[in-house]
Structure 1
């Protein structure tokens, strides 16, 4: 198994999609990239810790390549908006890839270059070495499956999941 850590806005969106990707064996929502040990959701949302909301994926590279996980990542959020995804605004919602190895860094740079030709505006996705990952509170784990009718889940997350299913039907579990 390998690990990927990605931030692209609210972690509920990314977690809901990656939970359906064949080859992804575990998805955890959490925080990384900040200076406060073991931050809480409230601290991260206040924007004072420096952390990003991220998902930590465990995946089988024999089933899905890191490159393919990143391609999915770039269809799930807008990598051209700095510290913002829709109405979610702040550094905690930044677009960021935390690579786990030199190989992942190389693949990420390649995908970033490929995506530059897809988007009309410059990509602002950060690329950074992996740092300590802090799991979010239990109620954030698998949140969308537990609360599908909650407003944000129904109006923001569900369309992203449907888009993934339509674009990547062959990648579904």
Structure 2
């Protein structure tokens, strides 16, 4: 059995999802969110994300960390730069904890989980909830996105899959 942590990066909210399982079978899951305040300077917010994710990695000791890859929208180029900063501290925390890391582009994650690379957050959440047999909606959406990334890591770890 392995433990995979998925992370949906964001400066205001970083989603965290953890799945335990083997092959295509999930034996347990947990999720949460790291929130930072808009009134704090960016550097302080990045430090908060780094500190909290480092604590989660130390406590959970995952075998694999799957991070949503950085993307940028042409309309909002500055958001891609900020997202890159968040991903940087997350990658640093993962590397320092000794966990194996991989990054998955958001469209690829949506395609794998829903069959549609342009799926909405609602569609992705429903797919993740269905896969986990979760009885209630998984909120916030950052957490369901992170669980989806963790599921991809679990499924790809299956030695029988290509």
* TM-score, scaled to structure 1: 0.33
Which structure's residues are more often helix, by fraction?
2
* TM-score, scaled to structure 2: 0.35
